[in-house]
Amino acid sequence: MNMSSSEENEYFSDGITEEIINALAKIEGLKVTSRTSAFYFKGKNIPIPQIGSALGVSILLEGSVRLAGNAMRITAQLIDAAEDFHFWSETWDRTLDNVFEVQDEISLFIAERLREHFGHLEIQDHLVEVKTQSVEAYQLYLKGRKTFNKWNPDDVKTSLGFYQQALKIDPNHTESILGLADAYSFLGSITAIPFEEGWSKSAALTQRALSINDKLPDAYYQLANLAFFTKGDYGTAFKHIQKALEISPNHPESQQFITFLYIIAGKEREAKTHLSIALSNDPFSPEVQFYSAYVDYMTEAYEDALHQLDQCLTINPMNIPVHTIKTVCLLKLGKYDEAIHYYDTMPKEIVLPGENAGIQALGYTMKKDAAKAAAFERQLVELSDAGDFIADTYRFLLAAVANKLDDAFAWVENAMKNGSPLLLYRYGDPLVNALKQDNRYTIYHSKLFPGEVFGLQKKASHKKPLLTEEAAADSKKKLLEMISAEKPYLDPDLTLRKLAEQLDLHPNQLSWLLNDGFGKNFNEFINHYRIEAFKVMARDPKNSHLTIMAIAYDTGFNSKTVFNTFFKKETGTTPKQFLQG
């Protein structure tokens, strides 16, 4: 949450939040809700348990950013969603010059507290990679990103200026380079600028980013889009998106795009597996909802698809892809007149000539109105001959719907020679079901979606234990001896990292040892000894003058809620009931 006096700094607060989300998402085994769904609840007065249930998470991270000149205060706290209690909080007072270091520091702090609360996670020494030393370039990038995320031509064009200003300050800032690449490809895709111009600029910028850092999931996601939308190369697109997910398994855009790649190839099970991951990570994302609707459409669940598409349009009425799929859904539901007149009252900037003529040609063909169908087919031919690739694909759909199989397959043959990306997109469409019983369909399908592509997926590797059997036994013995002799649990500021240092272990090793050797996470392990110490002190007559919480604090607890929660979990009773027993 932005706590600064100026709303201008909203982008900065959001940027820090997104950076921490991305950092935590790198940790294998930790499910982190993506940006869109996390921001959905921003500023809304909704009970914590309800938010946790809606997102499917057990812990919520809440925080704020306050800016005053060059000074910056960041607060963060972790909340148990089910029980609605805070079990950790911290405040950082820094200057803007330290923003990159503090992002890494906060991410590591949070990751370690989550590990102490949940159980073993392997955490890298650094989670946030500093991509620029210029705070000004970073701020311009954040402005560009916030503007781009409005997903309309005018704002995306405005974002170009922010990215370009950032790159004047730091020419090697890969986030701004890829921001430009994303913006140009978007503008090219919706023909706000010439298709070739948008994608050629995107390609050059993506390669520029990779020459600086070849471990960028966003770059491989962009390469996948380039391979698909400019060359119609399904196999290469698939390999690039796999690479993106190899680097960052929770990368939202890559999970969405691989869902798309699978469903157009007819791989329903695999598509739904990745869609499930995308929905789990980002259940309130309109982009994920669109892909969910598209999977429904491709699997002929048209009513479900239509419902989700309408929900998408309540969020963004100008979303061109949503309108495109909605119109073909209407056709498959037999709502021909609604589809035919769909674009009549739409704003001109979202009505693509090829889409409009194509839908009307299909609608009249399916209504058996040959004269009107022929008129719109002539429009499609004129647009197609003038270079409108969208209109060209509707000629394929029209041939299939009209049961002109030879014409449809002739179009496929020609499109394959020209490397048409929209052939890949349209080939499995339910509108061409009439083709799917023809042997030629299977032959072309195997060429467009080569089976060997799907055999390239890497099998999950089995991780080795972080300690040998002998080292684990020695460390376990040393830990128990230390617990008995030194009572480190009495330190209210004890952390897994601090205890690991005392044992000469890496924090990842101690985390693994507690999980594998004791079947407990750090908090369960340490609080067990604190509870036992409390029992002894509370029953000692010499301490009768002390309150329950005074004894709890003396035995290492630093929160009343945490103490009461763990005491009930450990003993099945409340502290008061225990003392009365």
Residues with Cβ < 8 Å from 191, sequence gap 6 or more?
Answer: 352
Kindly report, residue by residue over 491-516, the tens digit of the pLDDT: 999 999 999 999 999 999 999 999 99
Helix axes 217-231, 234-247, angle to 10 degrees: 170
**Residue at a domain's end among 89, 112, 130:** 130
Contact 70, 547 (CB under 8 A): no
Residue 139: inside a domain? yes
Query: What is the signed CA dihedral for 74, 80, 86, 90, rounded to 10 degrees?
Result: -30
In a domain, 395, yes or no: no
Rounded Cα gap, residues 43 and 564, in angstroms = 30
What integer best gives the mean pLDDT of the chain? 91
The reply to whether 84 and 20 lie within a common domain is yes
CA–CA dist 494, 62 (Å, integer): 23
Total domains, the chain: 3
Give 298's pLDDT tier (boundaries 50, 70, 90): very high
Q: What is the per-residue pLDDT for 488?
A: 97
State the greatest distance between any 2 C-alpha atoms of the chain, in Å, as a whole number. 101
C-alpha–C-alpha distance, residues 515 and 509, integer Å: 10
Look at the block and give the residue holding tokens 């970073």.
138
CATH code for position 194: 1.25.40.10
Task: Evaluate whether residue 469 is within a structural domain.
Answer: no
Q: Looking at the structure, do residues 98 and 186 belong to the same domain, yes or no?
A: no
- State the average pLDDT over residues 139-161: 88
pLDDT above 50 for 550: yes
Q: Does residue 461 register a pLDDT over 60?
A: no
Among 99, 130, 161, residue at a domain's last position:
130
Question: How many other CB atoms are there within 10 angstroms of residue 75's CB atom?
Answer: 17
Is residue 157 located within the same domain as residue 85?
A: no
Which comes out higher in pLDDT, residue 319 or 293? Answer: 293
Helix (H) or strand (E) run with residue 468 in it: none
Q: At what angle do helices 389-401 and 405-418 cross, to 10 degrees?
A: 150
Q: Is the CB of residue 163 less than 8 Å from the CB of residue 183?
A: yes
Residue 223 has a pLDDT of: 97
Same domain, 86 and 100: yes
| 141 and 126 in a common domain | no
Coil, helix or strand at residue 157 = helix
Regarding whether 86 and 40 lie in a shared domain, the answer is yes
Instruction: Clarify whether residues 21 and 125 are in a common domain.
Output: yes
pLDDT at residue 483 greater than cutoff 90:
yes
From 451-460, 509-518, 541-550, the region with the lowest mean pLDDT? 451-460
111 & 138 share domain: no
Rounded CA-CA distance 265/450 in Å is 9
Distance (Å, whole) CA 234 – CA 231: 9
- Tens digits of residue pLDDT in 179-195: 999 999 999 887 789 88
* 455 pLDDT above the threshold of 80: no
Radius of gyration of the chain (CA): 29
5-54 pLDDT per residue, tens = 455 567 778 888 888 888 888 888 888 888 778 888 887 888 999 998 98
**Residue 2: band (very low, low, confident or very high) from pLDDT cuts 50, 70, 90:** very low
Rounded Cα distance, 580 and 577, in Å: 5
Residues 110 and 78 occupy one common structural domain? yes
- Asked whether residue 436 carries a pLDDT value surpassing 70, the answer given is yes
| pLDDT for position 378 | 96
**pLDDT recorded at residue 6:** 55
User: Under a CB-based contact definition with an 8 Å cutoff, are residues 160 and 143 in contact?
Assistant: no
Is 278 inside a domain boundary?
Answer: no
DSSP H/E element including 76:
strand 71-80
Least confident of 105-114, 142-151, 395-404: 142-151
Is residue 349 in a domain? no
Segment 43-100, tens digit of pLDDT: 788 899 999 898 888 999 988 888 888 898 999 999 988 888 888 889 999 988 888 8
pLDDT at 3: 46
Q: Report helix, strand or coil for 123.
A: coil
Q: Pick from 83, 112, 130: which residue ends a domain?
A: 130
3-state secondary structure 220-248: HHHHHHHHHHHHCCHHHHHHHHHHHHHHC
Residue 1 pLDDT level (bands cut at 50, 70, 90): very low
Domain range enclosing 38: 7-130
